[in-house]
Chains A and B, each alone.
Chain A
């Protein structure tokens, strides 16, 4: 690595004949230690979040003990707090989301990297990255207003007709349900999975693709055997990170899942997740010490779960990078075990389910039941196995069969990419159509205190609140993130730097709803009232790790010879960083900051527990304020058309704000690369 050269050339114990002033290195040391302190904030925050949530939830822990994890009764009246329905609901919706989003995202990523010509892949990748920045409350609004009714009319009846005998698709279906939640979550993490997989796939060296192609492999065979194999651990890591996101996601779920605190077997029934419980019950719990403590304990459980998932995802990615350079016997053992599961486990389970469905089809519809979708898929599958076997015998046939497989996979991947684009386009389209219809000058001039039959209401209070909250968050997050980033990039080459980097990644993966509950416990409870300041603090905490990591990356991209030129002229290390390295990395760092700002501007969940909301315009730091996101959430879930329109208008304005920031930020770095 080029950076390492600069360290060794900078720190050597030079001969004493050249010794300068006694305190020559002092400035550098002070600089280093100041940045070190800022970087330690991320470690401190993780510990603090854990401790604070644990401490504030002691009441329920004494009351219910460990049985909160195993009891399925959540009855606030009778002080029964069992979190099982929420844990299960969280896991089921997240698993469903991954089941849908991983194949589609991976297929879309393969389409973008391996199939699509430049003029398609460049803009589409750009758009998909942009969509990843769309606030989750907008996904929730769209899901609730558009997707749920669509599912209700077109998908649920079809599922019941063909798969109704399986318990997971048992009727009756409700408008908001687990399936809708899983689907919306899937659409939400789809851009994330696509862009991360794309990055990972691009790291597989072209020489390996050439090796396979040079031996006469088809492109699909190359992708299957070389590209996917090489990118495997990176992709698994990306999937785990996406899982962390899905588990902690609040707004996109709370509006579409139905919020039913009972365990249900059917996906077509309403359920509940841990984050949506927090968002939903917080208002009534705020003044009930026991219920409040129960919610804080849920937040604590969520914290632990996501901590484990994110830490293992990061370790897996690190481990995968190491494994790529050299084999590892323990990984081979794990692979061998997985092979057994793949060979026997899956076929048995899937076979049993198929058999069950076929029996049910036949017994309910007679022989005609054999024309259902499951039977069709099974026949196609069997046919393909049989074809493989037959074609293998003859060289010519075999080549035709391989070419056919190649074409089929290409069509499939292109289809996935197309579906992903259509879904994401549908979201933007609906927000634009509905938003423009509902938008009028009152939106910017009036606040949201108007009654539901008065169409002159607006979001002035939310707009001002959002600006205020983002401003305060930036005041906290930018300096800490920047200084911490300087430390890990410039001084964090050893193990210690790696730990800090790891901590930053873990903090980045903690759901915003958990950070919100923490900010509530740490800043609202002791003071006794909600405030803009607490909301700003929560947003600031969320910014720190993002800014820290992008700052680090950008600093590392500054070429070594630039540093060496400065050091070679006798500049100190800190001088070099401040006057040469930072300016050289400026555009990239500003981009990182803008992306972080765009992200927190769209946050809802942490604000519900801290800034809380306010019907009127307020600019006082120690009083509750509203935000556009909270207003969208509350108006969207109301029963009044006027308010729902207001939510659409808010969504449009917020979307334009967030996308504008992201587009400017990304175009800025784009030009920078082009200049190089």
Chain B
């Protein structure tokens, strides 16, 4: 891989998505570059979460949904027959809008992923817990209370815990659905910092309603409207001189 040429990690090709008979996504084409942050913006209900959940097949858990088109990870179709969902989700991890720690201790939360994926040595798990918590910038706050219930943490800490929990399974792609929407400005700032750290190792796709956030953290931005991906391109371009009038309207707050 030569410098400056982004390798495509994930890609969607003419992707349609249905909830029953309702078509939530129409003809989405997008490439997700390696070790970059891709931000998805758009008004509420336009299908951002739906699209994000297509990338690790979380939508498979909802009955009556249908996917048409192709989504690939490193060139392999993730909707192909015989794809192991557990493997896929191990490689494409997800952080949800609301922090959702398990009702277990902090330590058990972090090591849950490694344990189901076959790791059972105590010291190895300890090590994983420490490195993931450090990566998620939570280690200093919780290192003395790893046995405490994860649900006793503050909202911002819980969200960083959920990030650490995903990092512990060493994913290649990290999907984040409005990870800061339930958090205060300070926690938001810490998570943004974290993202700029993480992008050196991970490929990140983030959904956000916060335009400044998209501008601050991402290299590439996609704008969704009514189930369509209107425009996608370099973040600076999307925010300064978008090609599409609708994008321009949205960025300037003329609707949505």
Contacts and interface: CB of A to CB of B under 8 A. Distances in A.
Interface of A: 117-118, 205, 207-218, 221, 225-226, 229-230, 324-327, 332, 391-392, 395, 398-399, 402-403
B182 to A, nearest CB: 11
Given A221-B116, A230-B103, A215 B87 contact: no
Contacts of B86: 216-218, 399, 402-403
User: 5 shortest A-B CB distances, which residue pairs?
Assistant: A327-B149, A216-B90, A214-B94, A207-B100, A216-B89
Nearest to B150: A327
Contacts of B112: 212, 215, 217, 225
A606 to B, nearest CB: 41
A1 to B, nearest CB: 20
Most central of A118, A211, A230, A399 by chain B CB within 10 Å:
A211
Interface of B: 56, 58, 61, 63, 84-90, 93-94, 96, 98, 100-104, 112-113, 116-118, 120, 147-149, 151-152, 162, 165-166, 169
B63 A117 contact: yes
A230 B58 CA distance: 21
A212 B94 CA distance: 10
A325 B166 CA distance: 23
A215 to B, nearest CB: 4
Contacts of A118: 63
B63 A399 contact: no
Nearest to A206: B61
Contacts of A402: 86, 116
A230 B151 CA distance: 12
A214 B151 CA distance: 19
B104 A395 contact: no
A205 B96 CA distance: 13
B162 A211 contact: yes
A403 B169 CA distance: 18
A444 B189 CA distance: 79
Contacts of B118: 391-392, 395, 398
Nearest to B95: A214
6 contacts: A207-B100, A216-B116, A225-B112, A230-B103, A399-B84, A402-B86
A423 B110 CA distance: 43
A226 B102 contact: yes
A339 to B, nearest CB: 13
A398 B151 CA distance: 31
Contacts of B94: 210, 214
Given A210-B58, A327-B151, A229 B100 contact: no
Contacts of B103: 208, 229-230, 324
A391 to B, nearest CB: 8
B87 A216 contact: yes
B93 A214 contact: yes
Contacts of A212: 102, 112
A208 B93 contact: no
A225 B102 contact: yes
Looking at A229, A327, A391, A403, the one whose CB has the most chain B CB atoms below 10 A away is A327
A118 B63 CA distance: 9
A210 B116 contact: no
A391 B102 CA distance: 27
B165 A215 contact: yes
Given A215-B165, A327-B151, A207 B96 contact: yes
A210 B61 contact: yes
A207 B89 CA distance: 16
Contacts of A207: 96, 98, 100
A207 B158 CA distance: 14
A211 B120 contact: no
Contacts of B147: 332
A211 B104 contact: no
Given A207-B100, A208-B103, 20 more contacts: A209-B61, A210-B94, A212-B102, A212-B112, A214-B89, A215-B112, A215-B113, A215-B116, A216-B86, A216-B88, A216-B89, A216-B117, A216-B169, A217-B86, A218-B86, A225-B102, A225-B112, A226-B102, A324-B151, A326-B152
B142 to A, nearest CB: 13
Contacts of B93: 214-215
Contacts of B63: 117-118
A327 B102 contact: no
Contacts of A332: 147
Contacts of A325: 151
Contacts of B102: 208, 211-212, 225-226, 229-230
Contacts of A324: 103, 151
Instruction: Please indicate which of the listed interface residues B63, B96, B149 has the most CB atoms of chain A within 10 Å of its own CB.
Output: B149
Nearest to B117: A216
Given A207-B100, A398-B117, A399-B87, A214 B149 contact: no
A217 B104 contact: no
Contacts of A395: 118
A207 B177 CA distance: 13
Given A225-B102, A325-B151, A326-B149, A214 B58 contact: yes
A210 B152 contact: no
A207 B117 CA distance: 21
A371 B86 CA distance: 38
A350 to B, nearest CB: 23
Among A215, A326, A391, A399, find the residue whose CB has the most chain B CB atoms closer than 10 A.
A215
A296 B166 CA distance: 62
A403 B147 CA distance: 30
A281 B103 CA distance: 51
B90 A210 contact: no
Nearest to B152: A327
Contact of B120 (A117, A209, A229, A392): A392
A210 B57 CA distance: 11
Contacts of B85: 213, 216
A214 B96 contact: yes
Contacts of B116: 215-218, 221, 225, 402
Contacts of A327: 148-149, 151-152
A211 B100 contact: yes
Nearest to A224: B116
B166 A215 contact: yes
B58 to A, nearest CB: 6
A229 B148 CA distance: 16
A326 B154 CA distance: 11
A608 B245 CA distance: 83
Nearest to A233: B103
Nearest to A232: B103
A225 B165 CA distance: 15
A324 B169 CA distance: 26
A403 B103 CA distance: 25
A216 B152 CA distance: 25
Contact of A210 (B84, B87, B96, B101): B96
Nearest to A389: B120
Contacts of A218: 86, 116
